[in-house]
């Protein structure tokens, strides 16, 4: 994918553009996320490949018109493969001065600004920190500028519906969406149908929004906008035949957990407590009761994980989720899951930290917390999703490992993956191997209950409470090997600690060898990533290889234990760079485990990597 270099301005043939990046930005009350979401729907229906990046403030309602309250939604769409939401927007829709100020420097030079001049009042300019109106002082000369009074045109469009000015202006985002739909030759009907459904109980609101949508579209068709804007049709992206839908990471993860529980043959219990950006998982799973899913919103994080662990003890697949601060609160119960050796899936949707940190921004700084962050030697498997669609398969894998090895499993996503969207080919579930659980039953004749006897994987049996003849002791106190009786002796603790660690190490026996996503096995440079850095790394490596550079992309899903061949693979490269949205956590783990000279490339701004940042690092490493 190459972002368009001459999008929406001049006299060039715009149909040749492979991809376009559009950013909608406004006050957090302007409905930018909704606008972006509906534009994403229309883009998916048009058959384009796409990736999105919602970016919104942490405050519930920051002061209106201030830079603190700016909400943005970026979408990259095109006729070729799209891996990221785009480095730089080609088009910026700015609904007020604050939105312009926060986002304009991200716009590529020569890009298009569409601004609502009706919001550039003296008061709003002052709130955004402008001394003079940027629409009039020539400071935006580096870009194409289209400024007109969207607010006034919205009021005109909905005047027949008897709404107050405040209510009418809530349709402003639909007017803007209508213009965007015209600009990119999109069908309005799916949006109209959605509005009628959303406001079924308030038809006058639905009709006002539809009128605003149609008015924005008509403005594009009929107004003398000039050379800045021409209607552009972007051809559908080639795709394998099949059924597709657009998913966010949270949606993909929810469906994947349901699929994992089904493949294990278990009912699922999801215990959670609301926290950004993990809450959408609870919202999606609560709508899937028909698949044997029980959802429980607990009074706090500790209650949520303890309820999930109790469900696993009772014979369900227990799942809990949170973000870094909530995972910290769950830590003691995670240790209990390690000690009792019960299956539990723990989802960590990472955000910027520490403490409250950056609640709505993305980061990868919980890797140490996932791998090491418990008292005592308490290892557990850790896997990381690379994209919204990849979260589906990662959820299934987490369920498989948890039930096969009788262990809690940490599944890492982040704020970007949770909220971003991309097309997903709905898989044929007949292609997925089942991993049905077998609960222990009492053997015939005389026997001694051995709840901590181990199979070839090192896993203990899963005994449902109440199973006749298999009554046993369970809890967080150290146990005697096999019998599970309380045993404080040095020998028992040493042996049980070693057995728990060996069991987790055995997980490597049932995971695939590490592959090379792009490039050769061995060479001058490997870019090694994990999690949501996949897209920008992949694009940067692809571009570098087209220029003849000897560089490969390795992306690790199984963070702990690592794939068995990873050390030899890494040692086959002269140099290793590890891009991470933290201060170098995977880099340190790779150095520790394999004694390789992995070099960090760190970013902790709350924003994803840009392709250009990685391209620069590749060039510098190979020069």
What's the pLDDT score for residue 226?
Answer: 57
Which has the closest alpha carbon to 438: 413, 420, 463, 421? 463
Q: Is the dihedral of CA 424, 426, 428, 429 positive or negative?
A: positive
Burial (Cβ within 10 Å: 0-12, 13-18, ≥19) of residue 137: exposed
Give strand ranges (E) for 79-220. Answer: 91-94, 112-116, 144-148
* 410, two tokens: 């940490």
Fold of the CATH domain 516-622: Rossmann fold (3.40.50)
Q: Is 19-227 assigned to CATH 3.20.20.80?
A: no
Counting as low any pLDDT under 70, the low residues of the chain are: 1-17, 224-228
How does pLDDT run across 545-577, given as a tens digit for each residue? 999 999 999 999 999 999 999 999 999 999 999
Three-state DSSP state, 209: helix
* 490, two tokens: 């040095």
**CA distance linking residue 408 with residue 378, whole number of Å:** 10
* 12, two tokens: 């060039």
Burial (Cβ within 10 Å: 0-12, 13-18, ≥19) of residue 240: exposed
What's the pLDDT score for residue 228?
Answer: 60
6 within 8 A of 18, measured Cβ to Cβ: no
* 161, two tokens: 């519906």
Which has the closest alpha carbon to 424: 387, 386, 389? 389
Tally Cβ neighbours within 10 Å of residue 29: 15
475 within 8 A of 338, measured Cβ to Cβ: no
Fold agreement between 245-431 and 516-622: yes
What's the pLDDT score for residue 445?
Answer: 85
Contact partners, residue 605, CB within 8 Å, separation at least 6: none
Quick one: 245-431 is in which CATH superfamily? Answer: Thiamin diphosphate (ThDP)-binding fold, Pyr/PP domains (3.40.50.970)
How many residues comprise the chain? 623
Domain residue spans in the chain? 19-227, 245-431, 516-622
Three-state DSSP state, 108: coil
**CA distance linking residue 204 with residue 439, whole number of Å:** 57
pTM of the model: 0.92
371 within 8 A of 559, measured Cβ to Cβ: yes
What's the pLDDT score for residue 225?
Answer: 62
315 within 8 A of 462, measured Cβ to Cβ: yes
* 197, two tokens: 């459904």
Query: Cis omega before residue 580 (within 30°)?
Result: no
Based on its alpha-carbon atoms, the radius of gyration of the chain, rounded to whole angstroms, reads 27
């Amino acid at each position: 994918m190459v972002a368009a270099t001459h999008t929406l301005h001049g006299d060039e043939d715009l149909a040749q553009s492979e991809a376009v990046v559009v950013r909608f930005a406004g006050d957090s009350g302007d409905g930018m996320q909704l606008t972006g979401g509906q534009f994403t729907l229309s883009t998916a229906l048009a058959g384009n490949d796409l990736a999105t990046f919602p970016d919104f403030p942490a405050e519930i309602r920051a002061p209106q018109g201030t830079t603190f309250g700016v909400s943005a939604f970026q979408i990259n769409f095109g006729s070729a493969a799209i891996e990221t939401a785009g480095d730089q927007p080609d088009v910026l829709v700015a609904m007020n001065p604050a939105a312009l100020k926060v986002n304009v420097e991200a716009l590529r030079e020569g890009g298009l600004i569409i601004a609502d001049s009706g919001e550039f009042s003296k008061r709003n300019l002052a709130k955004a920190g402008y001394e003079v109106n940027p629409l009039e002082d020539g400071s935006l000369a580096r870009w194409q500028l289209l400024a007109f009074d969207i607010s006034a045109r919205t009021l005109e469009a909905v005047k027949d519906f008897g709404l107050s000015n405040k209510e009418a202006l809530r349709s402003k985002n639909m007017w803007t969406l209508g213009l965007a739909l015209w600009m990119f030759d999109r069908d309005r009907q799916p949006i109209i149908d959605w509005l009628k459904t959303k406001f079924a109980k308030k038809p006058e609101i639905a009709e006002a929004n539809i009128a605003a949508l149609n008015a924005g579209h008509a403005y594009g068709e009929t107004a003398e906008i000039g050379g800045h804007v021409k209607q552009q049709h972007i051809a559908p992206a080639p795709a394998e035949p099949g059924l597709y839908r657009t998913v966010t990471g949270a949606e993909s993860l929810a469906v994947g957990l349901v699929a994992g529980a089904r493949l294990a043959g278990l009912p699922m219990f999801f215990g959670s407590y609301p926290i950004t950006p993990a809450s959408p998982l609870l919202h999606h799973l609560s709508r899937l009761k028909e698949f044997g899913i029980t959802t429980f919103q607990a009074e706090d994080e500790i209650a949520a994980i303890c309820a999930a662990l109790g469900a696993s003890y009772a014979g369900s697949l227990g799942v809990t989720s949170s973000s870094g601060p909530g995972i910290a609160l769950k830590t003691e119960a995670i240790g209990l899951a390690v000690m009792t050796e019960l299956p539990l899936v723990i989802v960590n949707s990472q955000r910027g930290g520490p403490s409250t940190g950056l609640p709505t921004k993305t980061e990868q700084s919980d890797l140490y917390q996932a791998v090491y962050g418990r008292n005592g030697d308490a290892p557990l498997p850790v896997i990381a999703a690379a994209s919204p669609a990849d979260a589906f398969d990662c959820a299934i894998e987490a369920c498989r490992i948890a039930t096969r090895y009788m262990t809690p499993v940490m599944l890492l996503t982040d704020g970007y993956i949770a909220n971003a969207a991309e097309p997903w080919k709905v898989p044929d579930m007949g292609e997925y191997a089942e991993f049905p659980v077998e609960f222990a039953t009492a053997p015939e004749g005389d026997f001694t209950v051995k709840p901590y006897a181990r199979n070839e994987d090192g896993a203990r049996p899963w005994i449902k409470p109440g199973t006749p003849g298999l009554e046993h002791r369970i809890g967080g106190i150290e146990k005697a090997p096999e019998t599970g009786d309380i045993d404080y002796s040095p020998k028992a603790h040493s042996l049980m600690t070693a057995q728990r660690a060996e069991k987790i190490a055995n997980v490597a026996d049932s995971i695939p060898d590490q592959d090379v996503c792009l490039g050769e096995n061995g060479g001058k440079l490997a870019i090694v990533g994990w999690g949501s850095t996949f897209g920008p790394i992949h694009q940067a490596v692809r571009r570098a290889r087209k220029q003849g550079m000897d560089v490969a992309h390795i992306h690790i899903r199984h963070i702990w234990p690592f794939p068995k061949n990873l050390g030899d693979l890494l040692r086959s490269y002269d140099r290793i760079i590890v891009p991470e949205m933290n201060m170098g956590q995977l880099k340190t783990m790779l150095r520790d485990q394999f004694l390789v000279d992995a070099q960090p490339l760190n970013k902790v701004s709350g924003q994803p990597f840009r392709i250009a940042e990685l391209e620069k690092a590749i060039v510098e490493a190979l020069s």
